[in-house]
Structure 1
Amino acid sequence: MLTKEKVLEALRDVKDPEINRSLVELNMIRDIQIEGTTISLTVVLTISGCPLKAKIEDDVVSALKALGAEEVKLQFGAMTDEERAALSAQLRGNQTHNMTPGKTPLLNPILDKDSATTFIAITSGKGGVGKSTVTVNLAVALARLGKKVGIIDADIYGFSVPDMMNIDQRPTVIGETILPVEKQNVKVMSMGFFVEDNAPVIWRGPMLGKMLRNFFTEVHWGEELDYLLLDLPPGTGDMALDVHTMIPQSMEIVVTTPHPTAAFVAARAGAMAKRTGHEILGVVENMAWYEAKDGSKEYVFGRGGGAKLAETLTCDLLAQIPLGQPENHPSEPDYSPSVYKQDSPIGQIYLDMAKRVAQKCETQA
């Protein structure tokens, strides 16, 4: 026999996909009515235009039919401003006990010295070497290994991660809490979510630093991440310095092309990391070669830049990634124009690199 108690118990395992908490725990299940094998109920969403409404509906219906319901009549509502404020406070609550007195409370204390999250900053000496491509594909590869991964697109002037991952959804905002957008099992936060029509960001350094800090203090990353990748702007300017100051425990990957000049410039970014006490995980040589149809390799941008840079910085050459366009089609589910498929040759290179990165991080931890 179906009862309200059994319905609630069945829905305890159904989670809000953005918050990753039970709908029952979040008090989102209301007005349960049972007539024989028909269950009627209301799900109160965080916002009226919740982008994952369809998934919530599918999960609720599946859970109740597995319980024995033959028909599920589901209605949707939206939280009031007061309920959203209370939820925002609930998400923040009880996560500040290990913070130093006087510091700003963190939504998810990933910046705390005791956090288990590994920060990996992806940097380069100059633009145009594929730093963001490496960031996105390394993040997806780590997620394919079963890791919980996030990306902060800290290149606030040149944000590109949302476009590279084909994310057209805006983050959900609950009170003062921002929920990152998830794609390819990677949680993403970017300045691009808050800019209309690809408008330029005309800000000075202090404002950029404040926005970056908001990505930590106001974003609810959910359960603790294994890895949080930061796509830094190229060079050694304000944003890179802010990251080095804000996250003293972060490690770095330096991206270059094989060209000697690119490697020479990239050495500055690596030197900055060392001077600020950050460990360099290794170097990635992007655009290493182009493989022709006959299998021969053409070294379009020269050879040896990555190995030379790794030698200069006294670190490993993590990967050499050839030129190649991902073979994706917009009709495919989870289409991302810049993400290589796992079974593609370049996708396998990224997967191997992710294994090396994870092994190095876990050994050093």
Structure 2
Amino acid sequence: MSGFDSNPFVDPVDINPFQDASVTQVTSGVTESIGDFNPFTAPDRGSHTGTTIPISAASSQPAVLQTSVEQSPQATAAAAQANLIKQQEELERKAAELERKEQELQNRQTAGTTTNTGVKENNWPPLPKFFPMKPCFYQDFDEEIPEEYRRICKRMYYLWMFHSTTLFLNVLACLAYFIASSTHGVDFGLSILWFILFTPVSFICWYRPVYKAFRSDSSFSFFFFFFVFFFQVAVYIIQTVGIPQWGNSGWIAAISMINANVAVAVVMMVVAGFFTVNAILAIILLKMVHSKYRRTGASFSKAQQEFSQGVLTNRTFQTAAASAATSAAQGAFSQN
């Protein structure tokens, strides 16, 4: 009951925690050791080497001298000058490029290949200016044909030229054939017809399609060329054989003239050799064009698509279709 007699409203006794016996003993020992310690005496330094903080325990970060971020006026001026020099060099390069293109345009205008509006003028065949007929086609291998196909395209052009030369020589051989024997007038007449007909037709039907195919990577032009050139190879073989009365100075016709006239037979054999070279070159170039065609990624479906687009966008076809539709509508209206 004595524990309940104390008055809870009386102020508690003030207790100083620093007057505790354990605290005063520790603090008094520390002050004495501090007062006796002299860091500048050698013995004391030796006795306290075990408490020295090692270097590795200290901070390893070096002192960094903060520099100013702002550049000096001289550095700013030098950078601006270098930038101006770079811009000037770029402008000079562009001006030289424009001058080169302008010079090329002037050269083309001087050569007559382009008009003042920049539209390309036809330059083939290269006819003189006083000639009444004008060129019908535009042809430029370096400008229109990619470098990958330029060589084979030129070879096809040379084959056409060789083909035309052979047809002209065939006319001369058939003329000699007709002079040696009057019964071979049909051969001479047909040789003239073949020269007049096959020279332009071969240019339009198989050379220009392969030129367009290499120029624009056209699947339709490739297929058209293969279709026509296959028959051209067959014609070369027939001309090489030289069937009598067909207008060709081939091997059969040439051999048949050996007993009658050796000179005429030799001339005809030379032309027969030209026809043979035509056939061989045609077969070789056909295989080369086919190998190039397979690398272009052309296909029959693309050829059909190009043909349909070409027909639908053709102005003549559109006019004809519109006229037919108008006529059909007028006929149906008049019947009603």
Tell me if TM exceeds 0.5. Answer: no
In our comparison, the structure showing a higher alpha carbon Rg is: 2
**TM-score w.r.t. structure 2 length?**
0.19
**TM-score w.r.t. structure 1 length?**
0.17
Flag the structure with higher strand content. 1
Q: Which has the higher contact order (CA 8 A, sep 6+)?
A: 1
